[in-house]
Copies of this chain bind each other. A is one copy, B any other.
């Protein structure tokens, strides 16, 4: 697993230096030096949105800092939650007088550090609400949804909550939107090959040359089954069926579908998967709104893909269609 890197210990900081050098609309700062925020912040008095997570998932998390999306992002080491100071930095930077929604994936380390940062910034008078992304249906049973991990669906949560904040809604309203978006969003993924954390000497998991794993997490967390690589349509059908089994969209419903590449899977294959999913949606009489096909949430050089879906009501659809602008996603007015 070859990498074009320098010292593994410099990986995150050099990546961040390159990111802000390429995108002057992003600024790296905070006491931790690990907080990415908008160079031109949104207006005073609007709700801030802070996020954060481990590195190794670009464009997630830092890439979604932008107008109509996220205000500030705490950056951890590869596959490690951000430290408390970077979470504090993100909350302080996102705060513009109307409180902050902390919106991030449901992982233990991230929760612990964000919770502590919420407590500490609370002492300074910053009011926070927290909503967690927990869209991965493979990571726990439906009745234990609070144990589920957050994966690619978080991007849709950013979009809905970010648009609500940009409209000038207050903190409890923005948090309510995020909770509603989270309740309407599910994902499941399939992995074909592992990745390697730069400071590690071995891949994060082993998988035979002819096998795939359904339901594997974006850090290589174990999935549901492992078997020989199936045809794209078979894989797409299973991803679709697993997501639809929980969201139960009906004829006439409208959804935002996202086919996400985990890193090394070519865009060609993502479109082949999307072809099948779009046929399934058509057959079921479900409308696809702004379908997303690409690498939105990756695991470095891991091969594989995931399907996310958000079922829309008129409020969520308006928020998803609202203008947004970050280095990796532009929705035009």
Interface residues of chain A, those whose CB is within 8 Å of chain B, are 2-6, 11, 14-19, 21-22, 55-56, 58-59, 190, 192-193, 209-210, 212, 229, 231-233, 235, 263-275, 278, 291-293, 295, 298, 300-301, 303-305, 325, 330, 332
CB-CB under 8 A from A16, the residues of chain B are 271
Are A192 and B232 CB-contacts (below 8 A) given A11-B272, A275-B17? Answer: no
CB-CB under 8 A from A263, the residues of chain B are 264, 266
CB-CB under 8 A from A2, the residues of chain B are 192-193, 209-210, 212, 229, 303
The residue of chain B having its C-beta at the shortest distance from the C-beta of A229 within the complex is B2
User: What is the bound-complex CA distance between A265 and B295, given in angstroms?
Assistant: 12
User: What is the bound-complex CA distance between A5 and B192, given in angstroms?
Assistant: 12
CB-CB under 8 A from A231, the residues of chain B are 5-6
CB-CB under 8 A from A304, the residues of chain B are 4
- Check if B275 sits within 8 Å of A4, measured CB to CB: no
- Check if A291 sits within 8 Å of B5, measured CB to CB: no
- Check if A272 sits within 8 Å of B18, measured CB to CB: yes
- Check if B301 sits within 8 Å of A303, measured CB to CB: yes
- Check if A300 sits within 8 Å of B4, measured CB to CB: no
Are A274 and B4 CB-contacts (below 8 A) given A55-B268, A298-B267? Answer: no
CB-CB under 8 A from A325, the residues of chain B are 332
A227 to chain B, nearest CB (A): 12
- Check if A21 sits within 8 Å of B192, measured CB to CB: no
Q: List 10 A-B contacts (CB under 8 A).
A: A4-B304, A5-B231, A18-B275, A22-B293, A55-B268, A265-B301, A266-B300, A267-B298, A268-B300, A330-B332
CB-CB under 8 A from A229, the residues of chain B are 2-4
